[in-house]
């Protein structure tokens, strides 16, 4: 795990001595890439901080297990305790905005690191157990936030909601994996005198750091727009049909689905209906999430444009609200069971060549 295990003194058996530094370099490149990608929009600062912390953890791991620098053992448990709170804070920015003041939120999420710091002074033998509880606790908290599926990401644009949801689930699994490794190491020292611990730590630490870094980068693509609301509206009970009829009328009249940055929170404000009410109504009545509901409108217009105009597939894609070909093609196949070009050919539209699309 990312925590230090004090009984481990030998570093000769580490599998790949330079590997932690290579991982740190790759994660740093990933951080720069995400930073440049988000420079024109509001970045998800907790996710950016999480990637940087993964860089630091990888460097510390290399120094500790690759070169026997014992001094970093004082830092590693504390920095490890900062990983789950940053992951949770990044997810929270896509799910909702907290009503607590920023200093209060920072103080709350600093508690795990503070506890580990105290344990290092008074009860070093309890550090591993405390870290297991921190990692598992935050993983469960993230999974609870994700219970509604992709619709939980109210402040994320619909196009990126599903990939972000998957990345967040991977991050939660990585936190659980890290906790599992620490438990295994504890029992390995109890029963086998740490025979397998060093190998497991050297491999699993890097795997967890890479997973968390990539997941944070992927999830940050669905960053919350700058104009998000500061309060979450309370749901009120209404008939699902009335809710869907209101949203349908809004989508058809104002073509909201063409907005590439449309998200559940913005849709709720436009409709004047609480976000949870919209999500619940669509889930119950249509057996789909809101992202699929909006993309159905987008694909419907895309089909019309492909059949009736000479616009390229790429032009159509942007016009109806998609930003990437991968998402557009995936949703097009989901709705029509064929590719955009195949649709155009089947419908006899005035298509352009595939090269121009």
For the cut 60, the answer to whether the pLDDT of residue 304 exceeds it is: yes
Cα Rg of the chain, angstroms: 24
Q: Domain map of the chain by residue range?
A: 19-222, 240-356
Predicted confidence (pLDDT) per residue in 159-177, tens digit = 667 777 777 887 787 777 7
Among 1.10.10.60, 1.10.287.470, 1.10.274.10, 2.60.40.10, name the CATH number for the domain at 240-356.
1.10.10.60
Say if residue 215 is exposed, middle or buried (CB neighbours under 10 Å; 0-12, 13-18, 19+).
Answer: buried
Write down the pLDDT at residue 170.
75
Q: What is the mean pLDDT of the chain?
A: 74
Q: CB 191: neighbour CB atoms within 10 A? A: 9
Closest CA to 83 of 119, 58, 64: 58
Residue of 18 and 154 predicted with greater confidence: 154
Domain covering 19-222, topology: Rhopdopsin 7-helix transmembrane proteins (1.20.1070)
Span 85-107, average pLDDT: 75
Write down the pLDDT at residue 238.
54
Residue of 231 and 307 predicted with greater confidence: 307
Predicted confidence (pLDDT) per residue in 333-344, tens digit = 888 888 898 888
Closest CA to 84 of 150, 164, 143, 166: 143
Based on DSSP, count helices (H) and strands (E) in the chain, helices before strands.
16, 0
What pairs with residue 345 in β-bridges?
none
194: left (phi over 0), alpha (psi -120 to 50) or beta: left
Write down the pLDDT at residue 316.
92
Write down the pLDDT at residue 127.
82
Residue of 152 and 264 predicted with greater confidence: 264
């Amino acid at each position: 795990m990312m925590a230090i295990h004090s009984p481990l003194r030998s570093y000769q058996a580490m599998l790949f001595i330079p590997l932690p530094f290579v991982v740190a370099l790759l994660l740093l490149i990933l951080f720069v890439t995400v930073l440049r990608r988000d420079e024109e929009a509001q970045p998800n600062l907790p996710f950016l901080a999480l990637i940087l912390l993964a860089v630091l953890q990888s460097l510390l791991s290399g120094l500790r297990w690759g070169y026997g620098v014992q001094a970093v053992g004082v830092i590693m448990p504390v920095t490890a305790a900062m990983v789950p709170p940053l992951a949770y804070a990044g997810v929270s920015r896509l799910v909702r905005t907290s009503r607590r003041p920023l200093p209060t939120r920072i103080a709350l999420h600093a508690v795990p690191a503070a506890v580990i710091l105290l344990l290092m002074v008074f009860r070093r033998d309890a550090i591993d157990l405390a870290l297991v509880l921190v990692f598992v606790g935050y993983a469960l908290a993230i999974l609870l936030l994700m219970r509604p599926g992709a619709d939980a990401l109210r402040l994320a644009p619909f196009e990126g909601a599903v990939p972000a949801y998957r990345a967040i689930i991977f991050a939660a699994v990585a936190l659980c994996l890290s906790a599992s490794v620490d438990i295994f190491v504890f029992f390995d020292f109890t029963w086998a005198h740490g025979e397998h611990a060093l190998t497991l730590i050297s491999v699993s630490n890097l795997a967890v750091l890479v997973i968390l870094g990539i997941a944070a980068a992927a999830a940050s693509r669905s960053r919350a727009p700058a104009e998000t609301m500061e309060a979450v509206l309370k749901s009120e009970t209404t008939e699902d049909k009335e809710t869907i009829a209101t949203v349908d009328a809004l989508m058809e009249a104002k073509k909201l689905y063409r907005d590439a940055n449309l998200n559940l929170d913005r849709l709720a404000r436009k409709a004047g209906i609480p976000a949870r009410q919209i999500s619940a109504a669509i889930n119950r009545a249509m057996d789909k999430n809101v992202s699929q509901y909006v993309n159905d409108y987008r694909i419907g217009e895309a089909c019309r444009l492909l059949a009736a105009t000479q616009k390229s597939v790429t032009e159509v894609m942007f016009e109806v609200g998609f930003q990437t070909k991968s998402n557009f093609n995936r949703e097009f196949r989901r709705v029509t069971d064929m590719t955009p070009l195949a649709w155009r050919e089947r419908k006899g539209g005035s298509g352009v060549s595939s090269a121009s699309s």
